[in-house]
Structure 1
Amino acid sequence: MTVRQLSHLRYLALATPKYDEQLEFYTKHWGLTLVQEADGVAYLAAEGSPEPFSVRLRRGEKRIDLVAFGAHTRADVDALAAKLHAMDVRFVHEPQELTQLGGGYGFRFFDIDGRTIEVSTDVELRESRKINPREPVPVKLSHVVFNTTGLDKTTQFYIDALDFAVSDTLVHPHMGDMMHFMRCNNAHHSLAIAQGPHPSLHHASFEMRGVEEWMRGTGKILRSGARMVWGPGRHNAGDNTFAYFIDPSGNTMEFTTELAVIEDEDNWHPSRLDVTQVTTQDQWGTANAMSEFVARESFNDVDNGLFVAPPV
């Protein structure tokens, strides 16, 4: 039986010079709830999640501020910190009591590409609720995908450092491996690593209650005037639905639902899925065809936060 010290994806923190526009988009249209705002920093919760917040926005130069993962216990936090020290990973700070919304106990470090990663436990959970039938708001943050120039090296870092496992891989017959889907629990992926021209945010994805709510949410975002890059459709890897949009800062954001759960991890065998096959990208065949122009949307801007800790 697979046992890990990490438990789940906790939140995504982004900085943007279009703070006001971004905040309005995520609350008015995307369906997140503003739970706290002060001094150009906003904490946004997903109504179906007990996490104190799922997205943090900060006014500033565009970048990923950090991605946070949960650990089961304080002992797990300390053990992971010791493991990373033994690997000579650069730390932002050691395990300590956290002072942000929700508190908790955790540490921050730079991954192999320079992104800030947080591992925490004992946060003060909020009171979540069941999402109503046909309600077009996210249940939770589903997964985050990074671009990297060294796919295998970055993937191996997350395997070695945080005990992620590869669930499936997208491959091209001429270009080789393109994306690894990675899990830290029995969800098919909480993280994915994509080969790209530079390190950056590829996309972040939010889980909807079901297909009906996913479609209604997709329609709501279309009516907001946001541009849908790709979708609606259903992936092969993860078996989840997808609809990708561009937010006001140029980040790709996804509505999804029905992500696969791997019940027997010990006997799971990752598939290598050919991206030139239509059914790999979209089982239904309802989305616009994947092309180099669609793929380019998720290259995003070069991340300016590499090896630079966020101010909060």
Structure 2
Amino acid sequence: MIVIGRNEGERLAKCLMSVIAIGTPVLYVDSGSTDGSVAMARGAGIDVVELDTGIPFTAARARKEGFERVLRLVPDLSYVQFVDGDCEVVAGFIEKAMAFLDTHHDVAVVCGRLRERYPQRSIYNRICDIEWDAPVGDTDACGGNALMRVDAVESVGGYRADLTTGEEPELCGRLRAAGWRVWRLDAEMVLHDAAMVRFGQWWWRAVRSGYGNAQHAYLFGTLSRRWESLRAWLWGVWLPFACLALGVALGPLGWAAWLIYPLQWLRQTLRNPGPLGERALLALFQLGSRFPECWGQIRFMHERFLGRQRRLIEYK
């Protein structure tokens, strides 16, 4: 069991309690926490890896170094569960996931239903819970919480430590290219405490997503990431400028071009799954996220131009 975290405080305490209860060896990887997380983990009898502060922190780096340490400690390990420090593992999931891998030898990664622990605390938490209700079965990628087949991960070289975000889809892409499958079970996996109660937190979470899309499009030329990047520019930059120009040039008729946004919201609402209220709410945030996603892409291009590597993009 590999838990990664940075300044998760009480959330980490709940996470560690949930994984200790399972009874398997646990390793905690810390990315420069200043809130006593390392002492808390060691006090619980957990082995800790403290990442070198001289190298930029990324979740990918934490997962990679944690995986390498676990293999040194338990060289004959068959499966490894990755857990984010703000999540609690649901009792019984590990056993279900291991049983699935035992009988499906072409599957490298198993994940399950990720739920927000406090969806009622804010609209932003609620959006997270809706987003995470993904279809079960064969899937393209997992999130940060997943059970993985050790030999499969080793065979493709593990996580890329240089990715600022989106390291799981990138790893799953290499696994699928090598003939492995990724599977989402119809089972509760973890409770996640997003702790998003302010607009600024939601904004920076979307900035991180845009940064990751730009980084993936640049490094790997991934078609889906290129489309996500272009879509953000379309709705977040090009169309606003076009609508503004039409309004200035044509007056009332030109200002009507802004109707494209409510029409897009309606279109996305009809396309989203689930109850109507959730579909409409998700569509609103999907459309609004294009603006911070563009900002994330601009930050990536700026840092690439300056030859810099970004540390974690945090929203908490």
Under a length normalisation based on structure 1, what TM-score does the superposition of the two structures give?
A: 0.25
Higher strand residue share: 1
Query: Greater Rg, structure 1 or structure 2?
Result: 2
Higher helix residue share: 2
Under a length normalisation based on structure 2, what TM-score does the superposition of the two structures give?
A: 0.24
